[in-house]
Chain A
Amino acid sequence: MISGPWCADPGRRTSAPSNFGGKGSACANREGGGSGAGQGGPYVFSFELLLDAVVLGVLLGCFYAAVSLGLSVAFGLLDVPHVAHPAFLVLASYAVYVLNEFYGIDPLLAGLLITPFLFVFGLAAYRLYYETFEKRGSDAGVRGIAFFFGIAFIIEVLIILQFGVDQRSVTAPYIGKAWRIGDMRIPYRLVVAFAVAALLTTLLALYLSKTFMGRAIRAVAQDQEALRLMGANPIRIKQWAFGIATAVLGIAGALLIIVAPVDPTLDRAYIGRTFCVVVMAGLGSMTGTLVAAIILGVAESIVLTLFGASWAPAISFAMLLGVLAVRPQGLFGRRS
């Protein structure tokens, strides 16, 4: 079963059509019971309802940008068909969960703590991918995709075997309280996610544009040969870039479990969300990633308000299909 932050709250599993009516915006309502939002039901249009949806959508969108950044580097810049990215993300969330649950470490700090390990893990993963697929060349496409698909399933099952299928969540002072502006309730956890996500996106964008290594990574995406002629080793650079792409999953995974509880198969929903964001952004564009993520966040939020949570899982996938069919180069595409 696909679920996401919308329907992932325990006790609020909303996939059943019986919850269709009387539901405003799940995130606005979930923290403090009914606000004004839910009164009209989903079928009556109201301006406040829409405003709610847009505000929450923007916050959520920034969070989506944060969880998509790694894929934007790995797939957008390096052309690695990284279908297992969302599975890595969920894995990071479980690591954060363990640190929080058993050692009482703040989830964001936990995210930072696992970052170096993720970086090394990323270096190793790329090396394996390179040695087995890119280097051999022929038919790498089919098998590369199958490889990551298999890895994703292995991670999923290992999590199930270790933690079971139940949802897990973290505790922190900012989880569970909401910020009230007029009639609107904005949960702090979303505000925290928004702020951290914005910071993470900015940092990565700066890293890629201002530092020597960052520019080398962008160069490797454009023209490997030129880089080789300049005496740099493109494989080293790609490996480093993949390390970075995996390392940012530390914070991203922390945000994932801060925003909503996670379960082992949550990665399936995030295949849609992350690939939608990265493809819509135009491969490898960091500004694009932010803009596309906000578009997705707002779209999900509005559809949820108007049609109910049972349609939520399809939104990102439908948008992804639409983008692929109509504008495969994305909004800020680097390829013609």
Chain B
Amino acid sequence: MKRNGIFFWIGAAVFLIAIALMTKLITNEYPFFAGYVILQFIVLAVAWSILGGHAGYVNFGTSAFFGMGVYTAVFLFKVAGAPLLVQIVAAAGVGALMGFALGLLTLRMQGIFFSIATIALTIVIETSITNWRYVGGAAGIQLQRPPVTWPFSGYVQMLFFVQAVLVVLAVVVSRYIQNSWIGRGLQALRDDELAAECTGVPTLRLKVLACVVSGALMCAAGAPAAMYLQYADPSSAFNLNYSVSTLAMSLIGGTAHWAGPIVGAILLGTTQQLLTVTISSEVNVLVLGVMLVLFVVAAPEGLIGLLRRVRDKRREGKQ
């Protein structure tokens, strides 16, 4: 346990240092441009799994959180020219509030009702933003990036590094939850909410906590996207594709371990980038959908589950 912890922190530090070095050494912008999207999906998938994996509440509203992150950034930038860090922190706050509201919804709805409610929330928010002219309405809004600050050589490099920090943050939080009493409580309420409550688990408080943490991370992940694209419009910021991608990445990676969503996001994120560039974005969604369905049917525990099964088999073989 202890040794695992040390390895984890060393790994996180090495990852960040490597990213920082990359932004110094590589001058071509394209790898950062593509890598940013993968990092963004890692944050989304890890955040999604906190609620969807541990607590078993399927959130189709990833797009709602992501989109609100984008528009929090857009609003703050337009109203006060707020710097990136402020945009992200504010987006996390907005996401936490949304998560709180979502957590209260779990009081009245479970299972499919909760999932449908999250889609509904997405569309209602999207429509409201579409009708809000200050942030551009349906037509969207152009944004001019401010000059980049030291020590970064380019804005995209900075965004890439910032998103990498968010990745580390999300993974640290998710790992902590999995290994702590919070994780055990969420797992219990996923298995049986009434039994958990009668065993002393404060189910509502834990669900709200999971929603708040998950929501804050998703919103924060969305905030830099405004500056990344230098443009925002409601139908792409709130696109349901974010929901289905995140869901697919988490479930394909496997939600039983914090590393699952990371594996899923890297694998699918990379595939998506390649497919979008080489074939078309439609084929990319098709592959995503087919993979999701295949995994859900044939390997319900995801890649992590498959790995564990192989490992258990080998261990049995040795004995």
The answer to A–B direct touch (Cβ < 8 A) is yes
Name A residues whose Cβ lies closer than 8 Å to a Cβ of B: 1-2, 15-17, 75, 81, 83, 128, 132, 139, 141-143, 145-147, 149-151, 153-154, 156-158, 160-161, 268, 271-272, 275, 279, 310-311, 313-314, 317-318, 320-321, 324-325, 328
- Given A149-B60, A321-B124, the answer on whether A83 and B116 have CB atoms closer than 8 Å is yes
In the complex, which of the residues A141, A143, A310, A324 contacts B131, with contact meaning CB atoms closer than 8 Å? A310
> Who on chain A is nearest to B118 by CB?
A321
CB distance from A265 to the nearest CB of B (A): 9
- Given A15-B138, A17-B131, the answer on whether A157 and B115 have CB atoms closer than 8 Å is no
Task: Compute how far the CA of A275 lies from the CA of B285 in the bound complex, rounded to whole angstroms.
Answer: 24
Across the A-B interface, the 10 shortest Cβ-Cβ residue pairs: A314-B127, A317-B120, A81-B112, A150-B292, A153-B289, A154-B289, A150-B293, A157-B286, A317-B123, A1-B235
Does B137 count as interface, using CB distance less than 8 angstroms? yes
Residues of chain A with a CB closer than 8 A to B300's CB: 139, 143
Residues of chain B with a CB closer than 8 A to A157's CB: 282-283, 285-286, 289
Does B296 count as interface, using CB distance less than 8 angstroms? yes
> Who on chain B is nearest to A308 by CB?
B131
Does B143 count as interface, using CB distance less than 8 angstroms? no
- Cβ B296 vs Cβ A147 within 8 A: yes
In the complex, which of the residues A147, A153, A325 contacts B105, with contact meaning CB atoms closer than 8 Å? A325
Residues of chain A with a CB closer than 8 A to B117's CB: 320-321, 324
- Cβ B293 vs Cβ A154 within 8 A: yes
- Cβ A153 vs Cβ B288 within 8 A: yes
> Who on chain B is nearest to A313 by CB?
B127
In the complex, which of the residues A75, A160, A271 contacts B119, with contact meaning CB atoms closer than 8 Å? A271
- Cβ B251 vs Cβ A314 within 8 A: no
25 A-B pairs, CB-CB below 8 angstroms? Answer: A1-B235, A16-B138, A81-B111, A81-B112, A141-B111, A142-B58, A145-B58, A145-B111, A145-B112, A146-B247, A146-B292, A150-B289, A151-B289, A154-B293, A156-B285, A157-B283, A157-B285, A272-B119, A272-B123, A279-B116, A310-B131, A317-B120, A318-B120, A321-B121, A325-B105
- Cβ A153 vs Cβ B285 within 8 A: yes
Residues of chain B with a CB closer than 8 A to A141's CB: 56, 58, 111-112
Residues of chain B with a CB closer than 8 A to A320's CB: 116-117, 120
Residues of chain A with a CB closer than 8 A to B109's CB: 324, 328
- Cβ B128 vs Cβ A314 within 8 A: yes
> Who on chain B is nearest to A312 by CB?
B127
- Cβ A311 vs Cβ B131 within 8 A: yes
In the complex, which of the residues B56, B115, B296 contacts A150, with contact meaning CB atoms closer than 8 Å? B296
Near A by CB (< 8 A), chain B positions 110-156 give 111-113, 115-117, 119-121, 123-124, 126-128, 130-131, 133, 137-139
- Given A154-B290, A310-B138, the answer on whether A143 and B120 have CB atoms closer than 8 Å is no
- Cβ A81 vs Cβ B115 within 8 A: yes
- Cβ B108 vs Cβ A325 within 8 A: yes
CB distance from A31 to the nearest CB of B (A): 25
- Given A141-B111, A142-B56, A321-B121, the answer on whether A17 and B138 have CB atoms closer than 8 Å is yes
Task: Compute how far the CA of A142 lies from the CA of B52 in the bound complex, rounded to whole angstroms.
Answer: 8
> Who on chain A is nearest to B107 by CB?
A325
Task: Compute how far the CA of A321 lies from the CA of B128 in the bound complex, rounded to whole angstroms.
Answer: 15
Residues of chain A with a CB closer than 8 A to B244's CB: 149-150, 153
Task: Compute how far the CA of A139 lies from the CA of B105 in the bound complex, rounded to whole angstroms.
Answer: 21
CB distance from B74 to the nearest CB of A (A): 17
Does B240 count as interface, using CB distance less than 8 angstroms? yes
Residues of chain A with a CB closer than 8 A to B293's CB: 147, 150-151, 154
- Cβ B130 vs Cβ A143 within 8 A: no
CB distance from B286 to the nearest CB of A (A): 4
- Cβ A161 vs Cβ B282 within 8 A: yes
> Who on chain B is nearest to A132 by CB?
B297
> Who on chain B is nearest to A325 by CB?
B108
Does B248 count as interface, using CB distance less than 8 angstroms? yes
In the complex, which of the residues A15, A150, A313 contacts B248, with contact meaning CB atoms closer than 8 Å? A150
Near A by CB (< 8 A), chain B positions 222-277 give 235, 240, 244, 247-248, 251
- Cβ A161 vs Cβ B286 within 8 A: yes
- Cβ A83 vs Cβ B115 within 8 A: yes
Inter-chain pairs besides A141-B56, A313-B127, 10 sampled, C-beta below 8 Å: A16-B137, A17-B133, A149-B244, A149-B247, A150-B289, A151-B293, A157-B282, A161-B286, A268-B240, A317-B120
CB distance from A164 to the nearest CB of B (A): 10
Near A by CB (< 8 A), chain B positions 8-61 give 52, 56, 58, 60
- Cβ B123 vs Cβ A313 within 8 A: yes
Near A by CB (< 8 A), chain B positions 42-87 give 52, 56, 58, 60
> Who on chain B is nearest to A1 by CB?
B235
- Cβ B105 vs Cβ A272 within 8 A: no
Residues of chain B with a CB closer than 8 A to A268's CB: 123, 240
Residues of chain A with a CB closer than 8 A to B113's CB: 279, 324, 328
